[in-house]
């Protein structure tokens, strides 16, 4: 499946989402955000997919938000059509029902790091650099750089990137806990495939529920996690089956407290 500038390839139980705008170092514009949302939907509804990878085509994972895409926007348009829309897309990816692995084949800067940060596992090639350079342009990290990344990486390391403008190597990022593994140049996707195969041997239902529980424990998406877990549990009960049957038969439900 190809949706604009994001390609989705299904290989058995694995889905690979490739951000494909290499001539712009995979800088994100509105079309790419829409394509990422559609890619997330395609992965979410495919019952055969148990784990997903996100990577970039060419020399970069993503150089962040394309300045040409947002630089001309009026403040209200910038806040709604760019920042809030990007938030919704990134949240869609962060809350995929399957584990998501980011294969960082190149630099991940600004919105590119925020995109990598929503993955469950990050595997980086040794030559890459990561950072949050937005304040050098007079703007802020607006796609959860000061929120999700603080929860996942820690406030002080985000301060160093966002306030101090520090750019870190892959090995430094590993030491700081921002990436989980550093591999040789050109091997991130293969390493992500190997890790994905390990993940895919585990119970899909257990993976989905465990991912929800970890997100909740980390202070992310608490309401959705609780409601999703509760709904999954209720969906297996005899009471729900009775309620649906009674509705179809136009009669009062006879609940028995069956789990």
Q: One of 57, 125, 134, 220 is an active-site residue; which one? A: 134
79: CB partners within 8 A, 6+ apart: none
Q: One of 114, 125, 208, 220 is an active-site residue; which one? A: 114
Which residue in 1, 21, 20 sits closest to 11, CA to CA?
Answer: 1
Beta strands 107-109 and 2-3, pairing class: unpaired
Per DSSP, the residues of 168-209 read EEHHHHHHTTS-SEEE-TT-HHHHHHHHHHHHHTS-HHHHHH
- Please indicate whether residue 114 is annotated as part of the active site: yes
Distance CA 37, CA 194 (A): 26
Catalytic machinery residues:
114, 134
């Amino acid at each position: 499946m190809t949706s604009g500038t994001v390609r989705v390839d299904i290989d058995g139980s694995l889905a690979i989402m490739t951000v494909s705008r290499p001539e712009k170092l995979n800088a994100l514009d509105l079309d790419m955000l829409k394509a990422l949302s559609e890619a997330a939907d395609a992965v979410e509804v495919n019952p055969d997919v148990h784990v997903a990878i996100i990577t970039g085509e060419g020399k970069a994972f993503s150089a962040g938000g394309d300045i040409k895409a947002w630089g001309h926007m009026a403040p209200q348009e910038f806040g709604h059509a760019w920042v809030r829309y990007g938030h919704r897309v990134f949240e869609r990816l962060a809350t995929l029902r399957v584990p998501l692995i980011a294969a960082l084949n190149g630099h991940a800067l600004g919105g590119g790091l925020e995109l990598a940060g929503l993955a469950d596992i990050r595997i980086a090639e040794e030559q890459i650099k990561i950072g949050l350079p937005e304040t050098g342009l007079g703007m802020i990290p607006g796609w959860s750089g000061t929120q999700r990344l603080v929860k996942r990486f820690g406030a002080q390391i985000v301060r160093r990137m966002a306030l101090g403008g520090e750019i870190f190597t892959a090995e430094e990022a590993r030491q700081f806990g921002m990436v989980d593994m550093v591999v040789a140049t050109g091997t991130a996707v293969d390493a992500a495939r190997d890790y994905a195969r390990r993940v895919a041997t585990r119970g899909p239902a257990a993976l989905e529920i465990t991912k929800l529980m970890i997100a909740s424990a980390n202070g992310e998406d608490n309401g959705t996690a609780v409601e999703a877990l509760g709904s999954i549990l209720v969906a297996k009960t005899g009471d729900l089956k009775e309620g649906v049957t009674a509705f179809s038969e136009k009669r009062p439900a006879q609940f028995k407290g069956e789990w």
